[in-house]
Amino acid sequence: MKIGELAKRSGCSIQTIRFYERKGLLSKPKRTEANYRSYDKTLLDELIFIKQCRSLDISLKEIKSLIHNKNNPEQSCSSVNKLIDEHICQVNEKIEELLNLKSTLEQMAQSCDADKTIKECGILNELSA
């Protein structure tokens, strides 16, 4: 299949597919006699794997590591478990940061009401302090 069909079937844009090719995440596609890229089911599966990883906010570096592990099925999966454990820690840190951000915004929202003028706006005054 051509890249447009791959994009349609995977739900990824053509630019994203080419980006993943440049980053070495996707295997090199075969070439036709006219030198066009020709994608097969294996590459579609690889792309879906990458897309699933990205939906979990797994970084490109981490995806490369997961692909390496996936391509070496006889190895121990301890490195995969470690990678996911580290990713869980990163997610927990982001959650904590977002909760702090939410709390700060809620406090700011309470510092002002609609009956004040811009000059008296507690939110803008806090942001300027």
**How much is the pLDDT for 94?**
96
What's the predicted TM-score (pTM) here? 0.79
Q: Is the pLDDT of residue 113 over 80?
A: no
SS3 38: strand
Q: pLDDT band for 26, please (50, 70, 90 cuts).
A: very high
Q: Is the pLDDT of residue 114 over 80?
A: no
**How much is the pLDDT for 125?**
86
Q: Are 64 and 24 in contact (CB under 8 A)?
A: yes
The residue among 9, 78, 4 whose CA lies nearest residue 42 is 9
Q: pLDDT band for 25, please (50, 70, 90 cuts).
A: very high
CB count within 10 Å of CB 20 equals 19
**How much is the pLDDT for 129?**
81
pLDDT tens digit string along 51-99? 999 999 999 999 999 999 999 999 999 999 999 999 999 999 999 999 9
